[in-house]
Structure 1
Amino acid sequence: PQVNFSVNGREYHLDYYLTDGIYPKWANFIQSIPIPQGSKAVLFAQRQEAVRKDVERAFGVLQARFAIVKNFALCWDKVKIGKIMRACNILHNMIVEDERDEYTQYDISDFQQGEGSGSSHVDPTYSTDISTNIANQMGVRTRIHDRQAHQQLKCDLVEHIWLKFGSDCGNRNSHCRFPFK
């Protein structure tokens, strides 16, 4: 989908996914750093891997609870898949709330993201009904396969994570000094 967000003062217009090392280095796949060198790289690798694993676990819970999420979905349209996933998320949350001990209290602010140097916005008017012609597909393919965009986004994310969470990590380097291969 068309998204607009900024990281480390730079604007981006492609969504991105946290992946493991088996995915190609495309603009919308952000892998961890396999052998991180330096405090920034170590912190980024820890955060990226933790969040990616959280998402995998959450999806595993949905797959275990709802058979429809396990099934082959490539033949369905994106809108229908989105509605199914939202419905499963809502049902799961309702079940969890119902099963939770009613006396358990938690502070919701622990789960909310604070305003940081990054911001994002998903265009709600984006339509999946765009006519699919070869020129349109090739343009999107070129943007996604851009290794320089991948490296720039990864570097900006490393800096963003460092600025947001790195105060306890000691050595504060001022810029991204390592190439991603």
Structure 2
Amino acid sequence: MSSSSSDEVDEAFEEMFDEQLDNFIDSIIEIQANKPKRRAYIERNREQGHKQLWNDYFSEEPTYLPDMFRRRFRMNKPLFFRIVDRLSNEVPYFQQRRNAQGRYGLSALQKSTEAICMLAYGQSGDTYDEYLRLGESTALLRLENFTEGIIQLFGDEYLRRPTPEDLQRLLDVGELRGFPGMIGSIDCMHWEWKNCPTAWRGQYTRGSAKPTIVLEIVASHDLWIWHAFFGLPSTLNDINVLDQSPVFDDILHGRAPKVNFKVNNHTYRLAYYLTDGIYPKWSTFIQSIRLPQGPKAELFAERQESTRKDVERAFGVLQSRFAIVKNPARH
């Protein structure tokens, strides 16, 4: 009796031990399966990337001359240094720091060069990995912080409404070009939206084309885009976009600057824009003459159409200098 009872106790103990061991192993496997996987670390030797970039473009005797720098970076070197200097001094993200091992991180030159190249050429983030020594996820993060830093540092100077001095300059230039009272040309372009949600594709697609978003701008002769309205679906035409645009908010609220000019002995108090034929026949829009009759009408149509090319040229330069606008936007 004593031996039989002891065997039963041993068997019960073994079963309990096996069960607890199985539960423990299952819990370990579950924890390991749910544990986030660490990214593989790649030693890119970022110091070598900074040294090569410095020797190629920024040393006292660079490999590539300033004209090649201007062509490749889409800006001259003093402007580039102005941007990098302000970013590195006023934006903490672009300040070079040491890590826990005392090793320096990416330099402000590397971060800014990568962001500017992505804006200028619209390529993927890992395109510049072999030269600048930074990965794709890092490159996309640099681009986002670069654009936010530019808006923070230069927005008050460049992303603003025209001041009275700017308005007077635009009026003077317009008068010299034969259009007194003209302050720019207005038009719309379409920006392809690669990652448009499937549920929205019908709203953002015209016919069999790809989904696009409408950008409305007002541009002057010197490519200054001083009004931009972006975000409406491409199924809307220029008139529908104009109905939702804030371009006339200052006039509607009585905040528009006072403008006085004379044409054919008539005094006008509102500035106007040059447009194409789709826009309504308002006093603030001046279109060309579709079928001009006589020398005066032909001359006016020729001058209006040539001057209105300012906005078309602005669209062309915007898409050529910043290919990220022309290509499907990743962000």
TM-score by length of 2: 0.21
Where relative contact order (Cα < 8 A, 6+ residues apart) is larger, the structure is 1
TM-score by length of 1: 0.34
